[in-house]
Structure 1
Amino acid sequence: MAQIAIIYARFSSAEQSKGYSLERQQKHGLLYATDNGWSVEKTITDEGRSAFT
């Protein structure tokens, strides 16, 4: 039985939201899970704000 993985992708600044931060994190998370034989159950995205802004 494969291990279950959940991908958590987050950015905290307005500058990061203009790029591909979330997409890049999701892609790398999926690749890592696949390489390790894990099954990705879901992806959580957090478009949060930094505590410093």
Structure 2
Amino acid sequence: MGFAFVCGWCGAPCTVWGEPVASWWTDKYELPDEFECWSCGGINETPPPPWTPAE
């Protein structure tokens, strides 16, 4: 599942893909600690949950 974040350098919307984590009672995803902006190439830290699913 993809999650929407905004680049802290240029303000571009970025989608970060999360890997599902096994859970019996809820959907959980694991995201990388950092992601690279597709627009400017800046490195951003992934914020703490809750995350907004990308459309």
Shorter-chain TM-score: which interval? Answer: under 0.3
Q: Which structure dedicates a bigger proportion of its chain to strand?
A: 2
Q: Which structure dedicates a bigger proportion of its chain to helix?
A: 1
Structure 1-normalised TM-score? 0.26
Higher relative contact order (CA 8 A, sep 6+): 1
Structure 2-normalised TM-score? 0.26
Higher Rg of the two aligned structures: 1
